[in-house]
Structure 1
Amino acid sequence: MLPNDPLGRRWLDLSGANPSLVSQFRPVMVSFLGFDLNKNPKLMGTGFIIAGNEAFYVVVTARHVIDGLQLFQRPLRHAPSAVPGLFIQPKVSLDPRHLKVLRTDQGSARLMNVAYVTYAENLDVALCLITPQESEEGLVPYAVPLDCGTPSVGDIVHLVSCGGMDVSETSPPLEPDGKGQALRIERSVCIRMGTVTAVHKHGYNQYRFPCFSTSIPAEHGMSGGFVYKPRDGKMVAACGIVSADLDLTHRPRVDFSSKEESVISCAWPLLGFNLPVSILPDGTTSNALILDLVKAGDMPTYEDSADFFEIADAEDHGLRLRCKS
């Protein structure tokens, strides 16, 4: 239950009561829009911007959002193969005809392109670079830095994501490449408050990655949003990424006292990811570790939360983080 709540509620929806907070978060929340072989559109999940400039934005989402996009774009005809633990380049098509990212601000909406995606098979987090379709000089949205700490059981947390997502075609494409297609897209920014119900440093059941659970339900489209600990006078920083809801019915939740939980991936493993600092026209990338970018002051994090981690060599030549002794 929420502390000091005489009604015994386990979670609350804060969106309607906090329009200014919704407006603050709206420009950093993105939605992934996939297209199948017949140009049919589908919104597949949420992401959020953790850094950026006029040229590109760094976006975090859940790995299974990218997997879902890949399956929707081109359903597999055989079983995929991969070496567990390795950081890989997903097979999702980044062609703008197959994948777009929606970002909205007050009174405006933009479709953006995805330039790069990477994830680790043993985690449910993914890292993306998205770029504007056209030059947007001076447009640098507020970003949500990473909080590399793990909340404790009983802590109050907020979940921020996109819900109510729906897309439909209002006019079919005029050309084979999809030009002329008109879409009607709906989505809203959701803010929910609840408590941390458990912490699983080594994974939980089929969720074999560092994670924690909350009393906040996560519904369709919310995967890839972020969770943060509200602190008076402190910056908002993402300590987790929405991964799964333990209720598999996917029905809308309106009972604030319901005993249902969501699984949240810890954010700190992102420190072990490579981020391209430049992409050449031939697709060649020059990479840097997120942890190194943080140490150099080029990537924001919450206070000194990243100082407790270091990169360790792992089996299969992958990279893995460990806490400093």
Structure 2
Amino acid sequence: MTIPGDAENRRWVEASGNNQSLADELRPALIAFVSFSPGGEANIEGTGFITAGDPKAAVVVTAKHALIEGAFRTQFPHPKFDPSSLFIPKKLTKPSIEPKDMKILWMDSNSGLMMDVWHLNYNDTSDIACCVVTFQKSDEGRFKPSSIPIDTMVPCEGELIHMVSLDNLTHSTVHLGNDKRMKLSRRMSIRCGVVTGVYPKGFRQYRWTCFTTSIPAEPGMSGGLVALPEAGKTVAA
């Protein structure tokens, strides 16, 4: 399904480069999850977005699998259970939110912070996780998040949508004696596309209301958001 009214009949288009003001507005609402292996090696697990926040703390929503399947495997590469077990206690599959095991990368247009996770919660039936994040003491006064309220409305097939997330998430680590210096980079992505299907009773292995889109999602984009364009605020290239 192509984008309505698009002269090139494209299924989706990357629009962040032509809409810098909107990208700057949305960037402070996005975060990236960074987890650490037992040896201290970092891995970027996915995106999250802030639904409520102030200079002291923020509530972040993300995809549960980015943490359960991503962060947990990074932190515990050799779990104490057999994956084929019929019953695995939940506490054995929950990732650690200790500062040495997980950090939150937040950036606006001018600066970036490595933040801590206060609390993490999720349920077993959906792919949604929610956490509370806060700044490190040395960064007091520098955290200036923006928020994106959650709308539970289900879009219609053929409706124009925006997928907002972080992509091209990369990192490198330089060892300096007993210390390490880590370099992280990311790119803001706003992709325009359409809803290709709506499934009120679930889709494939997902047992909750779902919809599919014409927009491809790449590694690291899990946990971002899909939004309906507002009148007078378009990101169409």
TM-score, normalised relative to structure 1: 0.66
Corresponding residue number in structure 2 for 1:305: none
> Is the alpha carbon distance of 1:89 and 1:138 closer, same or farther for their aligned partners in structure 2, counting shifts above 3 Å?
farther
> Is the alpha carbon distance of 1:7 and 1:158 closer, same or farther for their aligned partners in structure 2, counting shifts above 3 Å?
same
User: Is structure 2 residue 200 aligned with structure 1 residue 166?
Assistant: no
> Is the alpha carbon distance of 1:73 and 1:89 closer, same or farther for their aligned partners in structure 2, counting shifts above 3 Å?
closer
Corresponding residue number in structure 2 for 1:149: 153
1:200-239 mapped onto 2 (5 Å cutoff): 200-233=199-232
Corresponding residue number in structure 1 for 2:195: 196
Q: Is this contact kept in 2: 1:51–1:57, CA < 8 A?
A: yes
1:67-82 mapped onto 2 (5 Å cutoff): 67=68, 68-75=70-77, 76-78=79-81, 79=83, 81=87
> Is the alpha carbon distance of 1:13 and 1:72 closer, same or farther for their aligned partners in structure 2, counting shifts above 3 Å?
same
Q: Is this contact kept in 2: 1:165–1:186, CA < 8 A?
A: yes
RMSD in angstroms over aligned alpha carbons?
Answer: 2.1
Distance in 2 of aligned mates of 1:125 and 1:41: 23
Distance in 2 of aligned mates of 1:192 and 1:173: 42
User: Is structure 2 residue 120 aligned with structure 1 residue 117?
Assistant: yes
Structure 2 SS opposite 1:121: coil
Amino acid paired to 2:101: H
**CA offsets, 1:185-214, max 9 Å, x none?**
111110000000111112101122221100
Distance in 1 of aligned mates of 2:162 and 2:174: 35
Distance in 1 of aligned mates of 2:183 and 2:143: 25
Q: State the Cα distance separating 1:172 from its structure 2 match.
A: 4.9
Q: State the Cα distance separating 1:140 from its structure 2 match.
A: 3.9
Structure 2 SS opposite 1:23: helix
Q: Is this contact kept in 2: 1:102–1:109, CA < 8 A?
A: yes
Equivalenced residues, count:
226
**CA offsets, 1:21-41, max 9 Å, x none?**
111111111000010011011
Q: What percentage of aligned pairs have identical amino acids?
A: 37
1:36-115 mapped onto 2 (5 Å cutoff): 36-67=37-68, 68-75=70-77, 76-78=79-81, 79=83, 81=87, 91-115=94-118
